Amino acid sequence: MSRIDSLIAAMSLAEKLGQMTMTTAGYAVTGPVTTTDLEAGIVKGAIGNVLNLYGAEMVRAAQRLAVEQTRLKIPLLVGMDVIHGHRTIFPIPLGEAALFDPAAWEASAREAAKEAAADGVHLTFAPMLDVARDPRWGRIAEGPGEDPMLGQAIARAKVKGFQASNLGGADTLAACAKHYCAYGAVTGGRDYAETDVSQRSLREIYLPPFEAAVAAGVATIMPAFTDLDGVPMSANSALLKDYLRGKLGFDGVLISDYNAIAELIRHGVAADLAEAAALALKAGIDMDMMANAYRDGLPEALDRGLVSMADIDASVARVLKLKEQLGLFDDPYRRGGPESADVLTARRALARDVAGRSMVLLKNDGVALPMAGGRVAVIGPLADAAGEMRGCWSAAGRAEDCVSVLAGLRAALPGQEIGYAAGVAIESDDESGIAAAGALADSADTVILCLGESAAMSGEASCRAHPGLPGKQNALVEAVLAGAKGKKIIAILFSGRPLIVPEVMAAGAVLAAWAPGSEAGNALADILLGKLSPSGKTPVSWPRAVGQIPIFYNQRPSGRPANPKDHYTSYYLDEDVTPQFPFGHGLSYGDFVYADLGVSPAQAGQSDSFTAKITLINHGLREARETVFLFAHDKVAKVSRPKLELKNFGQISLKPGESGVVTLTLAAKDLMFPGLDLEPLYEPGEVEILVGPSADPGRMLSATVRLV
C-alpha cells in the first residue's frame, strides 16, 4: 500500500477535511498575525494548508506543529500570492507581457520562486491567465493582456519558471493557473460580476492559456469566483470535471478562490453550506480556501447523501500527492534559508533589466527622448513615490526597498541639480501645489511628468469606470504644458491598465511604465538617459475613449466595415473606431524598416509548417531591439475568422545601419479553429500571412499561402 493510501485509510473524516481546507495565517498586507485558533487547528489536523504565511522561521514553526504534534504528521502546504516577485518586485504581469520575451518571463518567475522558497513558501497563486479586453477591470493588471496566443506563451514560461524541472526542488514553487475560466470577461469591467460569453469565444479566447498551462504540467488550478453563462465556476462540472480533468487530463489539485465555495449560496445555486460544499466537490474542487465549507458543510452533505466518502478520498489523495511531489513528506523543512549577497544583487539586476524592457514608448515627437543635457524638473505625484512602484499584489515587497523616479535620476546624474515638485497628490482635490510645479517646469529645459494611478487603483476589486488620471492630475498637466512651452516634456504613465489620457498626448514623449517594481527609478533612468532603448510593446489595444471598450485587435470582419463617409457602416458618430495605440505598438530609439517578406512553402499539409523570413534595417542613430509579429487571416472559412490572429513573434537587436533577418515559423495545424460543431477543424484554403511591428494593418507586409 502506498504512503498516500495508508494515510487515507488511517484518517478520520475531520482529518480528511483538514487536508481539503486552506486557512489564512493573516500574513497578508499588514504583517504576521498568528492565532491560537490557527495553531490549534493545525495540531488537531483540522487545517492542512495555510496561505499568507512567509518567513523561514515562521513557516518552520507552523510546520513543526503539523509534523511533530499531529497524529498523522502530515506536513502543511504553504501558499502565497507571488504574482510578480516576492521580496524583489518585478513589473506587474501586464507590464511583463509587454516584453514579448518568453526567456525573460521564465527568468523572473524562476527568481521569484527561489526568493519565495527561501522564505518557506511552497505554492504560488500564479500565473493569472485571464485574457482581458476591458481596461476598466482592475485585474487586467495581473494578466497577459488581450491575446490568447500571448497568454499561452506566458503560461508555458511562467509554469516552467515557478516549477523548474523538479517540483521537489528546494527552490521551486507549485504554480497555480488562475482564474479558470473567462473571468476577464466580467460584465462592465466590474470584478465579481457575471460573465456571458459564447462557446466559441470560450474555446478561441479564454481556454487556450489554461490548456497551455496544463500541457506545461501546472500543479494546481484555481476556478474563478464568477459564473459563466449562469453556472458559477466553483460548481461548473462541465468545465472542471469533464473538460479540465476529462478532456485535458489535468490530474493536479483544484483550489477554490477565497471564500468562493460559500459564495455559491449568494449565486443562488445552493441553499446552504452543505449544498455548496457538495456542488464544489462534485465539480472536482479539492481544496476549499477560507470558506470553511468543506469542514463545516461536507459532514452534513455526507449524511444527506449529496457526496460519498469516495469523492472526499479522491480529493484528499490529490492534495497528498501534491505534498509528496513537493518533497514535503521527505523533508518538510527543505524550503527556507538565507540567500547570498551575490544572488540578491543578480536578482535586482534582472528586475532592473525586465522593468526597463517592459516600458512602452507610446510617443516620441521631436526626439524628446533620450534626454539631452540641461536643467531637469521632475514633477508629479508619482515622481517620489517608491512604494507605488510595486503595483498591486506586491507580496512581501517593501516600499523602502524600491527606487523612486527621483532617486533613480539623482543616482544616474550625480552632481546635477534636479528640481522636484509633486504638484498634486494622486487622488486629492488639493490644487495648492500646482502653481509651484508650473513655475519649476518653466525654469527647466526638460520636464519629466510622473502621472497615473496608485498601486491600490488596480488589481482585485479595483475597477474604474473612468480609467483616466485621478484627482487633479489633469489640472497639473494643463499648468505644466502651458508654462513650459518650447521645453521638452516627457510624460511617464504609471498604471495597471491603459489610461485614457488625451490631454497627456500633447507632451513630446509619452512612456507607459506600468508599475515597474523594485528597480523602477533605476530602470527609468536607463530609458530616459538612453542607456537602454525602449522595446516594450503594448499587450492590449489602448483606447481613445471609454465608449470604445471593449476594444481589441482580432475582431471578425463586418459585412459593413467602418466608413464614416457611408452612414450605414460600423463606425461611431463621435469617435474614431481605431485605438489610440494598436496591440503591439511601441517605439524605440531605433528606426526599423521592414522589407522582403518571404513565406515558404507556398502550400502545406496539416503536419507541415510554414517559415516566414523578413529583413529589418535599423535606420536610426542608436542600437535598439524590435519585436516582430506574425499574424494570420483565413480568407474564406466555414466560420468567419478574425481579421488578424497572432501566431508567432520574435525579436532582433540591430545597431545603427545594421540589417538582419527574423525567421518565424507557423505550424499548419496552428491554423485550425473550432468548426460549426466547435470541434477543431483543419480547412484547406488560402491563408494570408502578415508580418509587422504591431497590429496596425497599414504597417504590415503580407503573403498568401495555401493549406492543402
Give the pLDDT band of residue 290 (cuts 50, 70, 90): very high
In this structure, the strands spanning 49-51 and 77-80 are parallel
As a whole number, mean pLDDT of residues 114-126 equals 98
pLDDT score for 485: 80
As a whole number, mean pLDDT of residues 688-707 equals 97
CATH-assigned architecture of domain 592-707: Sandwich (2.60)
Instruction: Reply yes or no on whether the pLDDT at 142 is more than 50.
Output: yes
Instruction: Reply yes or no on whether the pLDDT at 166 is more than 60.
Output: yes
Give the pLDDT band of residue 32 (cuts 50, 70, 90): very low
Instruction: Reply yes or no on whether the pLDDT at 34 is more than 60.
Output: no
- The pLDDT tens digits of the residues spanning 35-73 come to 458 888 999 999 999 999 999 999 999 999 999 999 999
Average pLDDT taken over every residue of the chain: 96
171 is known as an active-site residue: no
Residues of the chain with CATH 3.20.20.300: 79-306
In three-state secondary structure terms, 650 is: strand
Cβ atoms 687, 633 nearer than 8 A: yes
Instruction: Reply yes or no on whether the pLDDT at 99 is more than 70.
Output: yes
What angle is formed at CA 430 by the lines to CA 425 and CA 434, rounded to 5 degrees?
Answer: 75
User: Beta partners for 253?
Assistant: 220
As a whole number, mean pLDDT of residues 609-619 equals 98
pLDDT score for 366: 83
Instruction: Reply yes or no on whether the pLDDT at 185 is more than 90.
Output: yes
3-state secondary structure 256-284: CCCCCCCCHHHHCCCCCHHHHHHHHHHHC
Type of residue found at 5: D
In this structure, the strands spanning 685-692 and 624-634 are antiparallel
pLDDT score for 373: 83
As a whole number, mean pLDDT of residues 682-687 equals 98
Instruction: Reply yes or no on whether the pLDDT at 30 is more than 50.
Output: no
pLDDT score for 486: 82
Cβ atoms 526, 352 nearer than 8 A: yes
The verdict on pTM exceeding 0.95 is: yes
- The pLDDT tens digits of the residues spanning 414-433 come to 989 999 999 999 999 999 99
Give the pLDDT band of residue 232 (cuts 50, 70, 90): very high
Instruction: Reply yes or no on whether the pLDDT at 567 is more than 60.
Output: yes
pLDDT score for 36: 55
Cβ atoms 230, 257 nearer than 8 A: no
CATH of domain 344-548: 3.40.50.1700
**Torsion angle of alpha carbons 90, 94, 99, 102, nearest 10°?**
80
pLDDT score for 454: 98
* DSSP H helices in 45-140: 56-69, 93-97, 102-118
Instruction: Reply yes or no on whether the pLDDT at 27 is more than 50.
Output: no
CA distance 702 to 699: 10
- The pLDDT tens digits of the residues spanning 196-212 come to 999 999 999 999 999 99
Type of residue found at 604: A
Instruction: Reply yes or no on whether the pLDDT at 589 is more than 70.
Output: yes
Residue 56: closest CA among 140, 12, 121, 145: 121
CA distance 472 to 430: 7
CA distance 687 to 690: 10
pLDDT score for 343: 97
Give the pLDDT band of residue 31 (cuts 50, 70, 90): very low
For residue 145, the Cα-to-chain-centroid distance in whole angstroms is: 7
Query: What would the grid cell of residue 190 be?
Result: 466590474
Instruction: Reply yes or no on whether the pLDDT at 33 is more than 70.
Output: no
Evaluate whether the domain defined by 79-306 bears CATH number 3.40.50.2000.
no
- The pLDDT tens digits of the residues spanning 433-442 come to 999 999 999 9
User: What count of Cα atoms within 13 Å lies in the side-chain half-sphere of residue 695?
Assistant: 29
Cβ atoms 469, 451 nearer than 8 A: yes
Instruction: Reply yes or no on whether the pLDDT at 459 is more than 70.
Output: yes
Q: In degrees rounded to 5, what are phi and psi of residue 688? A: -90, 130
Residues of the chain with CATH 2.60.40.10: 592-707
pLDDT score for 483: 81
Query: What would the grid cell of residue 194 be?
Result: 457575471
Place of cell 531637469: 376
As a whole number, mean pLDDT of residues 147-165 equals 98
C-alpha distances in Å from residue 655, one per residue of 11, 78, 615: 66, 48, 14
Give me the catalytic one of 257, 286, 353, 634.
Answer: 257
Instruction: Reply yes or no on whether the pLDDT at 519 is more than 60.
Output: yes
For the chain, what is the total number of helices (H) and then of strands (E)? Answer: 19, 26
Residues of the chain with CATH 3.40.50.1700: 344-548
CA distance 136 to 184: 11
Instruction: Reply yes or no on whether the pLDDT at 392 is more than 60.
Output: yes
pLDDT score for 253: 98
